[in-house]
A and B are shown apart, each in its own frame.
Chain A
Amino acid sequence: MTLNSLFRNVTAAAALLVSVSASAADDKVVIYNWSEYIPDGVLEEFTEETGIEVEYNTYESNEVMYSKIKIQGATGYDVIVPSSYYISKMSREGLLADIDQSKLTNLKHLDKSLLNKDYDKGNQHSIPYTWGSTGIGINTDDIDKSSISSWKDLWDAKWQNSLLLTDDVREVFQMALAINGHSANTRDAGEIKQAYELLQKLMPNVLTFNSDAPREPYMAGDVSLGMIWNGEVIMAQEEMPEIDYIYPSEGVILWVDSFAIPANAEHKDAAHQFINFMLRPEIAARTVDYIGYATPNKDALELLDEETRNNPTIFPSQAIINRGEFQEDVGDEATALYNDYWEKLKAGM
């Protein structure tokens, strides 16, 4: 091949590519979600019904999602699923688009008590998708379930080099703060420091950090005790019923993940259609079945079978909810402090 023809071919290929990649029309929606957070088949059904093509990307932490959105100038993705404390931060910084509730005909199915929360008054920027908790995961074949009942139990020296913790700074700190009797959303430097000192003592017990699929090390047999998200336990129980979930006595970590639309998203209309689709009771019920997290969709509850509806791992009692605490934004200064200690802990200090 001569240099000339090579040059021509390359230019042609490049031109073709540009035209293909630039043809992103309005019949497309780009979703950025936590890994394994949407039931199989739902995306295909959405495309079949609406003709809107779905592009799906995943992340494993709010921080990474936030950074990507920030770096790209709140565009590129059309639907994101931040946790509550990131909703307040991102809307403060103008990174979220206003949600046109008139386009969300299925909004009426949601439980009013989960709407209009402090982190997003009037739900201008977010619509709750799921809510869940982070508690203690245990392999009941390896460890006697009755011997573990609190976060503090994880500090026992006999668990050296064997625990799993979620790779999430706020969640891990919430454990220590709860043990010390402080709020999970404290901005007090003294209280945060005390939590850090308590966590220093926990580090020798940690085998691995995992926020991609915390159930995986449990299922592979490498871990029998540690933190885990409640939905992960439900998913694990399909193959290994000996994996179980414990609500710690100091109070479980509660969180809400919501749909949001980045401020400069290209396909806002498709985004609204997608959110509306996900708000259907049948879809919400399937979500509970598949990913094991509770839904704010009250009409979906009726569609669930009794066993699921009464499963305490998915739907904790009101008493447990009251003892636990929902995560909220703590402001930039405290966040930086938490991050600082987190890095120290990971660096082995």
Chain B
Amino acid sequence: MQIDLRKPELVMKLDRLGSFHQSKLSFLRSFIREFKNWEFTTEKFALDKQGFGHIVYVVNNGQKQYSLICFSNHIEDSERSDRVIATKWDASFVLFDGVPTEEDIERLNDNVPLQEQGRVSEKELCLSRANKSVRVFEHVVDKLSKGEQPNTKLLYDVGYLYRTTAVYGSGKFGLADRIKIQNREELKGPFRLEMMLVYLARQFTFDVVNHVAYSRSPNKAVKLKEDIARNLGIGNSTGLGMAPFIVNHPALLNQWIIAKEKALKAIRSISSVSQKDKDIFQSYLSIIRENIKFWKTESDFQKKKNNQLLKDLSIFQKFYSTFPLNKFFWNSIYEWTEANTQSECCEFIISLMMEVYPDIVEPLSFEMSINEDEYFDIDTSRTIKEVCQLIEDQYTWLLDINFDDKENILNFWYYSKNKQEPRMSDRFTEEGSDLELPLAIARDVSALYDDLKSCNLEKDLGYYLLKNQEYRHILRRVLICEKLPYSEIQDNTISKTLIPVDMLRLKLSFFGATRFDPRSDRWVRITMYQGAPLMREISKSDDTWSYKKIA
């Protein structure tokens, strides 16, 4: 039986992309697989009794070292904000290439807590910050200092002790450019360093609560039980800043999606499936249905999605329990799921299928990076007719959108002057649309198409570009999409109906985030590394930790 990749017109719809779940391909999981045999140590522990000061963790394989320097600072409750516009944080982190000297730490202590307002150097690789979940942090420290373990109901409802609000890499604020590290074998997967930072920051959160509790009551205090710590991740609060990334990096987006699609195709193509494989899937399904109960959210949008997921999983379970192990079993499972459940459930089942076949899926995680510069140049020898045809084939979905209709062009994306972060506003009621970012892909492809159609179709793009440079950036995209068919979101990113959280969810699912908790249609809280091995036991990880039962 010939199984094809799912078509981009199905996969690249925002509603579908916004239903993706973490999987074996997620970056935080591939990070642990890659680094599990490295040595993780606490190089320096310099916190005062209140937990302020710094800690240095080192990741070492005998030849190469990376260090996370964590700065813990006092801030007033009134200064604590999840928003990227905040200027002070409980903790700030910088990932260092090598092991820092005292002079390095001193220099970084002056800059890292300032985040965007400070400067780092090419010795540094990633930058981040986090705030305490105040209600949980204080409760945990209080209990531990009294010799008791904290209330796990409260802990697991929240899921973490600290919440990060941004993780910067690749040349921002003076950090090392990606070209410095792109050829390192251990960094072949995407966002490896960012994932390392977040993993070590999670360890920092446990070390801080244990230290502060001990300092409060050295004779009585106990350490946070490892079983409890393991069930805690690190939170993240993400706003619109993340959304343009997936539009601005079409080649990279293609690599992420196609890895998943190749995995699905390979699994659907397995002709003979064993009872053991079916049982493994069932065991993960049973655990995760329990764990979903810990996905707390106040968002009606997400509640609806979660409830639908639970409902769909329930009918899926009935089907799965009775469906016989016929030939191409997984293909039948997939086709039934696609036909009978919503995207949220369908994508969830795909993630679960991938768990059963590490040998198929894990190698694909090394194909998720790409040299974007190779796709930058426009082949100007192509004819205008060819490009029109490409648009008709690849962008069929937008050709009927009426861009004179206000609702279809309601929003515009821009950079805020204050924080240099992307924002989205109503172009008809707010100022600034003259400084619109080039993220209105659907509208601009449509305009390019109209423009091209009015030219001599036999001429080449060189001829067209002599007098028409306005849509040069769009022409580039159309040609990228020809080579990389999963590079373009097939929805109008400026329409009234856009749900930006879907764009965030797409990226965060590839990071490996769980417990999506949208706080509005523009920002979302998530958890990372919940269930992951602790630093001292990372070498024992078998990559099944995402499906361990919570509580």
Whether both chains belong to one complex is answered with: no
